Amino acid sequence: MASPSSHKKTPVHDLPTPEPDSPSLTRSRQPYRFSTLCATVDSPDADHKDQHGSSSVPIYQSATFKGVGNRYDYTRSGNPTRTHLEHHIAKISSAAHAFAVSSGMAALDVITRILKPGSEVIAGDDLYGGTNRLLTYLRKHMGVTVHHVDTTKAESVIPYLNPGKTAMVLLESPTNPLLKIVDIAGISALVKEKCEDAIVVVDNTMMSPYLQRPLEHGADIVYDSATKYLSGHHDLMAGIITCNRDDLAKDMAFIINSVGNALSPFDSFLLLRGTKTLAIRMDRQQSTAMLVAQMLSKLGFVTHYPGLPNHPGKEIHDRISDGYGAVLSFETGDKELSERIVAATRLWGISVSFGCVNSLISMPCVMSHASIDPAVRAARGLPEDLIRLCVGIEDPADLLDDLRHALIEAGAITFAANDFVRIPNPISRAVEKLALGEARTAPPRETREWFVSAPGKVILFGEHAVVHGVTAVAASVDLRCYGLTSPRYDNKISVHFVDINDYKHEWDIDELPWDAAVPIPKGEEHPDSLDMRVVEAIKARALPPESQMPPKTHAAAVAFLYLYMMMTFSGHRPAFHFICRSTLPIGAGLGSSASFSVCIATALLILHRRIELPTVPPPTRPPTVPGDPGHVHLSHRGRRAIPPEIAEEANKWAFVAEKVLHGNPSGVDNSVAVFGGALAYVRPGFGKRSGMDQIQGFRSLRFLLVDSKVPRDTKALVAGVARKKIAEPEFVGQLLDAIQVISNEARRALADPELPREMLLSGLAALIDENHAHLVSLGVSHPALESIRSITSASPYRLSTKLTGAGGGGCAVTLIPDDFADEALQSLISALEAQGYRPYVTAVGGSGLGILSPYDPIAVDENDDTPPLSPPMTPQPNAEAEPLRPSIRRRFEAVNVSELSKWASDRGKWLYV
């Protein structure tokens, strides 16, 4: 294919052209080329010839027309100026029908009104933000199912082609903003073969009819945002729809007339004028775009432009298109760097649109595609640092010079050896400041062991109903996850998940996929969305496939490595071994993943030196205990407290780990694991104040947790409640209201310091029974849970029990009164164990995150054959060998889980939240 500046393909348009004016000519005229068709506006028919011979189509700026039964009566239904425009657009689009409406999104709205509830749509995974927004609305409110697939692979649509249900396949090529290429012809053929009633719709805005005419390749409907190239001057908004099928044209004409979104006469006139220069504008724009793409690619930026020889879709694009267009995008590897580049340009105007005679620059993820959820953007591989360039008709030399200056000013390139070269691994100014200032020298190796722990959680009231806006009350349980870090001196990190299939793995630090990571500078927060490039790189290059790893270990390892890589800054990559133990049942709905997340987040924050525990002031009085370091801040529990800013930082990073593990967590579990005690949580979006509130004054309660050992499907249970709510809205609404009342009463009782203990326990017992009955009515209990409840409520125990968490299996919680006899409790435990259940006696509402203080003397168990945990007195002389130093690593790995809590508490004095 020729370069864009001389692409001059001569497709034959089956359109009317003038016959010879003179009988002396012996041959017919050749069909007009596209640029001639653009510049030549003819009359649709004899009725539209101007009586005065105007060389420009008149503006019929009239809302109404006189007469009865005439062609025009009301401009909403038809207007002569708009008819001229639609005739002209059909001519240059190889179309039988064309419609002009008020915007590109109005065009898509007209097209999607063809859909019915229950219809299925297949769409690409790299779409314009407005398209994604409309499809999301249809999915949520109109009962339309939308499947987003990678349409660059034609075969990817096959699993979703459902005869009788698939109604539409929506394509863009090139896609916006990653410039992916879609085989329109190939997909159209597949659709017609497998779902003959489905229509293929193509957004052709990026190309315009000049460079691509999808109707010629099997598409049924094509639409353009005529605001872009067809107009070319950004002085109007318009949308164009074209098709060749009479039935579709009739349906869309009816919709346009009904909703009244047809293009106004004046805008029709402006658009008709703009189309006359379409070819000459695009010739200049795409020739310059090729120069810009070549420059960026040469500098080493990942550049997306189908005209580059290394573009993966170039062969397909050359087959279906007549040029490469004037939009391209490139990646810098650093969002802040991209922001500086965009801000530093002068000729390139910052704008969300494209297709204008003026060159434009933007960052799609913060502009045109910002309406797409960050997690969705990440899942679809849309880089946050992506810059989109829309090339205009300015002099190419000026545009290239302006872009080079912006790259230099932003710190992306420099001039060396008589040429412009890219600065390797550009870093943000925050990191640069650290590198040039406080981090001039590498930080010392960490030679201490760090011991951390975090509790699990139990949802006391409001489970399932919380999804529908009801307040949930959750509290920490005195079953914990523990994590120990031991230094390594061989440039490796390793993990040992003792209680998750005794899983072990180690990595060479330098071989981790650092090229995919843009770490978060110290002092800055992780964005709302995960960096899916890092997640996918870890899965593909640092771990075996999930199917080849023991259950639950894959996700845990991904979360660990993700936090390790994203916390790295100033080149400091600590080497250590991390061991994880848990007294919590794994996967039973008691927050085991959240407590694990808090442990790895806290340990990594310490090892990456992103947090510092407060130094201990010198003693101001004679110590009352040998080795007492002096005053340390006391928490309300009388224990030494972790400073709130450290707890907040640990919670934020634990929430990031929870996202890796669960996708879209509420934040309740990790908050309870960090802060302990109890809290009330309300989801946003229900017309009342949302968020989490600590329940002050919460008094510890004793519970029996019983693991049913029955796996549960949380998503299925939540979906079942949602279906029941749709089918029986009044009944379910009453249940949700009743559960809200229970949560409110429980919250007031738990926070009331004046309420006698006996009244508190009896009141909670009644609320537990009532709450469980409502959950049964919602259909989320399970025979195993009912069996547990029948045992605990029977004589002689007569205790109150309810399901917790997801239900459907998982765990039950039983309130144990203060005066409940130990003999009776042991009898109950035996009865439950006899039925195959696993009971745990625990306290609810205790401490949160714990860090073993490195300042305190260690109380050594005389029967413990391992030395105590403490910082070494002197640095290790040999950095290459495993140090010979005091360590609790072997004992921590070997201690029985039933003894783990006591053993850990005996190590010394802990700092707690």
Stated length of the chain: 913
Domain with CATH 3.30.70.890 in the chain: 701-844
Buried b (16+ CB within 10 A) or exposed e, 402-411: bbbebbbebb
Amino acid, res. 658: E
Q: Which of 773, 777, 748, 772 is nearest to 760 (CA)?
A: 748
Please say whether the dihedral angle defined by the alpha carbons of residues 880, 884, 885 and 887, taken in this order, is positive or negative. positive
- C-beta of residue 479 within 8 angstroms of C-beta of residue 706: no
* 10-residue stretch averages of pLDDT, the chain, 913 residues long: 42 46 53 81 73 78 85 91 94 95 96 94 87 91 91 92 95 92 95 94 96 96 96 94 97 95 95 94 96 94 94 94 96 90 92 90 80 65 90 95 92 81 58 39 66 88 82 86 88 89 90 87 84 90 91 90 89 88 77 90 92 56 34 35 84 91 79 86 74 78 87 77 89 91 90 88 92 91 93 93 82 90 93 91 84 51 39 37 54 79 72 66
Q: Where in the chain is the domain with CATH 3.40.640.10?
A: 34-277
469: left (phi over 0), alpha (psi -120 to 50) or beta: left
Burial class (CB in 10 A: 0-12, 13-18, 19+), 790: exposed
Q: What is the pLDDT of residue 380?
A: 64
Helices (H), 702-836: 714-727, 729-750, 757-778, 783-793, 822-834
On whether the CB atoms of residues 310 and 326 are closer than 8 A, the answer is no
Alpha-carbon dihedral sign for residues 414, 417, 420, 423: negative
756 φψ region: left (φ > 0), alpha (ψ -120 to 50), beta (else): beta
Assigned CATH for 279-422: 3.90.1150.10
The fold for domain 701-844 equals: Alpha-Beta Plaits (3.30.70)
> Model pTM?
0.50
Q: Which amino acid is at 819?
A: D
Cα end-to-end span (Å), the chain: 67
Please name which of 219, 223, 249, 265 lies closest in space to residue 109, comparing C-alpha atoms. Answer: 223
Name every residue whose Cβ is closer than 8 Å to that of residue 754 and which is 6 or more positions away in sequence. none
Q: What is the DSSP annotation of 363-423?
A: -GGGTTTTTS-HHHHHHTT--TT-EEEE--SS-HHHHHHHHHHHHHHHTSEEEETTEEEEP
User: What does the buried/exposed string (b/e) look like for 863-899 if buried means 16 or more CB atoms within 10 Å of the residue's CB?
Assistant: eeebebbbeeeeebeeeeeebebebbbeebeebeeee
Do 613 and 658 form a contact (C-beta atoms < 8 A)? no
Say if strands 387-390 and 199-203 run parallel, antiparallel, or are unpaired.
Answer: unpaired
CA 548: distance to chain centroid? 26
Selected from 3.40.50.300, 3.40.640.10, 2.40.110.20, 3.40.50.2300, the CATH number assigned to the domain covering 34-277 reads: 3.40.640.10
Every domain of the chain with CATH number 3.90.1150.10 lies at 279-422
What is the spatial distance between Cα 574 and Cα 607, in angstroms, rounded to a whole number? 7
pLDDT at 371: 62
- CB of 676 closer than 8 Å to CB of 685: no
CA distance 133 to 370: 10
Q: Which amino acids are annotated catalytic? A: 76, 128, 203, 228
For residues 51 and 54, what is the distance between their CA atoms, to the nearest angstrom?
A: 8
Q: Are 236 and 102 in contact (CB under 8 A)?
A: no
Residue 520 carries which side chain, given as an amino acid letter? Answer: I
